């Protein structure tokens, strides 16, 4: 495949596009909406595309794609999933997912119900449009309870609530509000709280053949208001005891939801009763960075996705041994701003560069910009990437980062 449409080539999708460009592919970019948050355009490189467009009408978008002579389409970020599915269906491209299951891949309520109907372990849940519906469901549920939008990403609007009053507060904050996916929360999802350790399971699929590119242990933090934010992403070895069970369960989830081609990013809770899906997305894991992958697994989801498009035969060969071998341990440390203020990177960067395991940092703010107190992934001021063959070193350096953060080192 040599001529590719990239829809919303943001987040980690911009790195897949770069890999495709380096492989000699010709690309055009289509933004799914004219009103996407500036957050998505951070680091976006328009120079790798022949043209960049914005989707405004179905007819015009299809004309652009046909004139370009596109052979396939790649979704680069969560905001582009629906448009990607529609283009694939309209153009009958081979590199696509099952169109009949598109709602279950985007709507978190439909997603879990699809698993339940297929006999796959799934959490208890209720979709709530009006508060009395929630009261009825809560009367039969133990606390805590998870409250979140039906359509969101990156812990946007996710609350863990220990009482009916907290659930009501979270419901009121979400209902009829616009979320980070640029859609309005016409309903709110209540789910039973899954007790256990949460993992990420990243695949790349080609005609339902899959490569396991990362399995990552999540460390999250619950804030005083009930919001949940990312703390550490810790990649685990394929020899880890939980690895095989998580992978097997996620294969079943992908089959159920019609994920047949391209990247997928699943969040799975390993409970006492086994794996249970939190949610899954038909796009790449947003925190991945090529230079970190080079030091840890060597391939990773970003490069593997590009390979599945540009060199499908080589990708198919790789699926004969579908798991990675870990070369180094890594922590992706999400910064958690303790208060509002103004951002200043200089002193913090100097201290980071002195850490033995420091590999890279990405700040999402420029010096002098306003920093808000972190409440979700979109308000986290940056990510620090640590890599070492000594996991104890990672933990030592992680503790230094949190100590510096608590001192307010990146505030003016």
Over the stretch 16-67, which tens digit does the pLDDT of each residue have?
A: 999 999 999 999 999 999 888 888 888 899 999 999 999 999 999 999 999 9
Classified as helix, coil or strand, 152 is coil
pLDDT of residue 227: 79
Predicted confidence (pLDDT) at residue 156 exceeds the cutoff of 90: no
pLDDT of residue 349: 98
Return the residue matching tokens 């355009």: 41
Contact 37, 12 (CB under 8 A): no
Q: Which ranges in the chain are annotated with CATH 3.30.1490.20?
A: 124-192
Q: State mean pLDDT over 394-407.
A: 98
pLDDT of residue 155: 63
Q: Please state, in angstroms and rounded to a whole number, the distance separating the CA atoms of residues 389 and 179.
A: 39
DSSP state of 201: E
Q: What is the pLDDT of residues 79-121, one digit of tens each?
A: 999 999 999 999 999 999 999 999 999 999 999 999 999 999 9
Query: What burial class does residue 88 get, using C-beta atoms within 10 Å of its C-beta: 0-12 exposed, 13-18 middle, 19+ buried?
Result: buried
DSSP state of 47: G
Class of domain 330-412: alpha beta
Q: Please state, in angstroms and rounded to a whole number, the distance separating the CA atoms of residues 282 and 291.
A: 23
Classified as helix, coil or strand, 179 is coil
Q: State mean pLDDT over 327-353.
A: 97
Sign for the pseudo-dihedral over CA of 10, 15, 17, 18 = positive
pLDDT of residue 162: 93
Which residues have a Cβ under 8 Å from the Cβ of 313 and sit 6 or more positions away?
none
pLDDT of residue 11: 93
CATH superfamily of 194-327: ATP-grasp fold, B domain (3.30.470.20)
CATH fold, domain 124-192, is: Dna Ligase; domain 1 (3.30.1490)
Q: State mean pLDDT over 4-13.
A: 97
Q: Which ranges in the chain are annotated with CATH 3.40.50.20?
A: 3-96
Q: Which ranges in the chain are annotated with CATH 3.90.1170?
A: 330-412
pLDDT of residue 177: 87
pLDDT band at 182 (very low <50, low <70, confident <90, very high): low
Domain range 3-96, its CATH number among 2.102.10.10, 1.10.10.60, 3.40.50.20, 3.30.910.20: 3.40.50.20
| Nearest in space to 233 (alpha carbons), one of 202, 210, 192, 259 | 202
pLDDT of residue 181: 66
Q: Please state, in angstroms and rounded to a whole number, the distance separating the CA atoms of residues 221 and 211.
A: 30
Q: State mean pLDDT over 124-133.
A: 94
pTM of this structure? 0.93
Contact 147, 159 (CB under 8 A): yes
Predicted confidence (pLDDT) at residue 225 exceeds the cutoff of 80: no
């Amino acid at each position: 495949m040599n001529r590719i449409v990239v829809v919303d080539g943001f987040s980690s999708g911009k790195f897949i596009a770069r890999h495709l460009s380096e492989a000699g592919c010709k690309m055009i970019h289509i933004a799914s909406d004219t009103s996407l948050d500036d957050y998505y355009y951070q680091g976006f490189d328009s120079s790798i595309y022949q043209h960049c467009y914005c989707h405004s009408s179905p007819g015009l978008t299809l004309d652009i794609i046909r004139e370009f002579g596109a052979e396939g389409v790649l979704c680069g970020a969560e905001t582009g999933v629906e448009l990607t599915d529609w283009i694939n269906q309209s153009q009958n491209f081979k590199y696509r997912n099952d169109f009949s299951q598109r709602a279950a891949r985007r709507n978190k309520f439909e997603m879990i119900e699809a698993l339940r109907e297929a006999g796959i372990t799934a959490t208890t849940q209720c979709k709530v449009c009006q508060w009395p519906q929630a009261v009825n469901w809560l009367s039969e549920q133990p606390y805590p309870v998870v409250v979140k939008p039906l359509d969101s990403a990156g812990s946007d609007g996710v609350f863990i609530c220990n009482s009916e009053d907290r659930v009501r507060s979270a419901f009121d904050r979400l209902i009829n509000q616009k979320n980070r996916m640029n859609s309005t929360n016409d309903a709110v999802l209540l789910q039973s709280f899954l007790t256990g350790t949460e993992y990420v399971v990243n695949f790349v699929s080609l005609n339902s053949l899959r490569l396991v590119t990362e399995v990552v242990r999540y460390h999250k933090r619950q804030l005083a208001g009930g919001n949940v934010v990312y703390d550490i992403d810790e990649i685990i070895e394929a020899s880890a005891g939980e690895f095989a069970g998580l992978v097997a369960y996620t294969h079943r989830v992908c089959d159920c939801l019609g994920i047949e081609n391209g990247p997928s990013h699943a969040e799975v809770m390993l409970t006492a009763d086994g794996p249970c899906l939190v949610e899954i997305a038909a796009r790449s894991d947003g925190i991945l960075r090529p230079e970190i992958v080079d030091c840890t697994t060597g391939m990773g989801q970003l490069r593997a996705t590009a390979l599945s498009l540009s060199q499908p035969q080589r990708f198919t060969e790789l699926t004969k041994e579908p798991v990675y071998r870990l070369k180094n341990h890594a922590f992706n440390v999400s910064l958690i701003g303790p208060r509002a203020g103004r951002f200043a990177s200089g002193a913090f960067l100097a201290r980071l560069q002195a850490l033995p395991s420091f590999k890279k940092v990405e700040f999402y703010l420029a010096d002098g910009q306003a920093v808000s107190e972190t409440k979700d992934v979109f308000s986290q001021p940056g990510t620090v990437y640590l890599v070492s063959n000594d996991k104890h070193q990672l933990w030592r350096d992680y503790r230094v980062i949190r100590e510096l953060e608590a001192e307010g080192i990146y505030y003016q």
